[in-house]
A and B are shown apart, each in its own frame.
Chain A
Amino acid sequence: MNARIKLSILLAGVGLLLAFLPFNASKTFRLSPGELLKINYQDHLFTVDEVARFMNSEDSAVQLIDLRSNAEFMECNIPGSINIPLDDLLNPDWEGYLNQGEKRNIFYGNGDETAAEAWTITTGLGYKNIFVMKGGMNEWYKTVMLSKFEGDRITPRENALFENRYRARRTFTEINSLPDNLKRQYLEAKRLEESQLDGGCE
């Protein structure tokens, strides 16, 4: 029998199978429900103080991801964040940012709900390095932006904590007080910096 005929029978059969496949394997969760349920979520949380430290040191191993709407993002965001609204999470344009094994992605919304949803979806899809800032922007504002030290004597540990918060507070206010066009320039410059890094040696 002609090899070509054999091959076409095989291909037609596989094609039929694919056509009747009840789901698209590339768009479904790669982890099984049991695996996803068993992952310890608490191990994937950062406190706002930790995030403030990453921001102050401009830690290049961390990517902050703001899941809120673009309007909320433009009003104020943690400097260094990129904006991926939850609706847009699975847009292929973002896959390069989200599905990688080098940087830690830290999600935040205003509260804890959106970030937990985004974490479960991306972790379920098999993306590595997905973390959440606990408490979201509301907790950031309460702790980093508004907390004051109250007491007579400050311990060295508290001193370091508050110094970290004050520094983050200053940068946050400076960047977010920029007029919109300058803010956009700052964000674009930030993105450019990153794409240059991605380029490797030139």
Chain B
Amino acid sequence: MVVVNRFTSMKINKNIAWIIALLVVLTVLVLVRTFNQNLFKRNAADAVEAAKNNTVTVDELQSINSEFYIVELDENAGQFEQSISIPFEQILEQSNRDKLENLEGNIYIFSNSIDRSARAWVILNQLGFDNVYILSNTTEPEAFKYKFQPDTSVGPEF
């Protein structure tokens, strides 16, 4: 009788051990993903929301009183005095990421082609940087510069 009892209790323990092992494996996987620096963990909607107000023009920089940094993403940087040069292709290198993380104050990223700074901005936003803005050398990069003139004398054929 005792032998049978011990046998069943061992079986129970074995079953629970399996479940616990499975849960431990899952927990480890979750932890690995959570602390993996090479993955995005942020909700993509945060980028869409922050994009509503993420662009500052060079003129507007003059009226900013708090401390800020300009990061130039082009290979041939040097448009701004005292800017930090981090080529676009290298923004994810650990030393550059540390550099960005240690900057206290707003970071304005600049490139001669605004699509490059826009792409870098989305990547940095999704990596958790909330103090990064796009620096534009034109006043309103996303304004329509022309005016459509309707021509009512022509009608389309349907």
**A-side interface residues toward B, CB under 8 Å?**
1, 6, 9-10, 13-14, 17, 21-24, 27-29, 31-34, 36-37, 41, 68, 72, 75-76, 86-87, 89-90, 109-117, 119-121, 124-125, 132, 137-138, 141-142, 145-146, 170-171, 173-178
Check A41–B40 contact: CB distance below 8 A: no
Choose among B15, B27, B126, B146 the residue that contacts A1 (Cβ–Cβ < 8 A).
B15
Do A114 and B142 touch across chains, with their CB atoms under 8 A apart? Answer: yes
A145 to B88, CA, bound (A): 34
B16 proximal to A (CB < 8 A)? yes
Interface residue SS majority, chain A = helix
Docked complex Cα distance between A178 and B141 (Å): 28
CB contacts (< 8 Å) of A89 on chain B: these are 48
> Assuming the A-B contacts A75-B148, A87-B52, are A29 and B26 also in contact, with contact meaning beta carbons closer than 8 angstroms in the complex?
no
- Contacting pair A21 B30 (CB below 8 A): yes
Asked if B22 is at the interface of the complex by the 8 Å CB criterion, the answer is: yes
A27 to B123, CA, bound (A): 15
25 inter-chain pairs at a CB distance below 8 angstroms, sorted by A residue, are A6-B19, A9-B19, A14-B23, A29-B44, A29-B126, A32-B39, A37-B91, A37-B123, A68-B144, A72-B144, A75-B148, A90-B44, A110-B142, A111-B141, A111-B143, A112-B118, A114-B142, A116-B116, A116-B119, A117-B47, A117-B121, A121-B44, A121-B47, A124-B126, A174-B155
B11 cross-chain contacts in A, Cβ below 8 A: 1
Q: Are A34 and B92 in contact (CB under 8 A)?
A: yes
Bound state CA distance, A199 and B118, in angstroms? Answer: 37
> Chain A residues with Cβ under 8 A from B19's Cβ?
6, 9-10, 13
Closest to A122 in B: B44
A1-B11, A68-B144 known; 15 new pairs, CB 8 Å cut-off, are A1-B16, A13-B22, A33-B39, A33-B40, A33-B126, A76-B148, A114-B51, A116-B115, A117-B51, A121-B47, A138-B145, A173-B150, A174-B154, A174-B155, A178-B156
CB <8 Å contact, B45 and A27:
yes
